[in-house]
């Protein structure tokens, strides 16, 4: 079971990086950190509505998988399964 636990922990770390990148790719709504780091560049590039919807979908899906893995790892620790 320790191999499963280590594998899940590695997946959580990788998904954390991917989730961070996806969140940073979102178009800024004005103000905040998104305008500080390249806000002008994203305004000029102009993403389409479809691209923004797909980005939102991927962000939500990966966030849900990330949360499910963390809950699963917590249950494994609570019940000594790994």
Write out pLDDT tens, residues 17-54. 999 999 999 877 765 555 666 655 555 455 578 989 99
pLDDT at 53: 92
Give 10-18 contacts, CB < 8 A, sequence gap 24+. Answer: 11/69, 12/66, 12/69, 12/70, 12/73, 15/62, 15/65, 15/66, 15/69, 16/66, 18/62
Q: From CA 48, how far away is CA 4, in angstroms rounded?
A: 40
Confidence of residue 81 (pLDDT cuts 50, 70, 90): confident
Any idea of the CA torsion for 15, 16, 18, 23, to the nearest 10 degrees? 130
This prediction's pTM:
0.76
């Amino acid at each position: 079971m320790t191999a499963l636990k280590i594998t899940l922990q590695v997946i959580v770390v990788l998904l954390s990086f991917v989730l961070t990148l996806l969140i940073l790719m979102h178009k800024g709504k004005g103000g905040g950190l998104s305008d500080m780091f390249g806000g002008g560049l994203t305004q000029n590039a102009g993403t389409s509505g479809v691209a923004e919807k797909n980005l939102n979908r991927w962000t939500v899906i990966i966030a849900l998988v990330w949360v499910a893995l963390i809950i699963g790892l917590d249950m494994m620790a609570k019940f000594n399964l790994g």
